[in-house]
Amino acid sequence: MSDQSRAIAATVLGAVGGAVVGYLLFTDRGRALRRELETAIEGTTAEFNSLRSSVQNTGDLASEAWKLLNEAVGEVSAEPPRLERTRQTAPF
């Protein structure tokens, strides 16, 4: 790819990006679309947070079950390997 082709591609991409941003910021339909997208993204984020919480709870439950099973069998010292919890506040 030559320098001229790269310059043309960059110009076209910049123009398309500018047109999209202009549409989303300066037109009524663009603002409405932007609000719908923001609502959808917030909903998706909430669902991912709920899924993460469910996975953590399932891991905690499995760990407790493993501990109870070891106690019932008499192997108190054998602990299953535990994944360390991270303290992530928000994904975005």
- 72/88 Cα distance (integer angstroms): 35
- 76/49 Cα distance (integer angstroms): 34
Element counts in the chain: helices (H) and strands (E): 2, 0
The residue among 39 and 86 whose pLDDT is bigger is 39
pTM: 0.50
pLDDT exceeds 90 at position 16: yes
Name the band, by pLDDT with cuts 50, 70 and 90, for residue 4. Answer: very high
27-79 tens-digit pLDDT: 999 999 999 999 999 999 999 999 999 999 999 999 999 988 888 887 655 45
Task: Give the pLDDT of residue 86.
Answer: 65
Our CA dihedral for 27, 42, 91, 87, rounded to 10 degrees, sits at 150
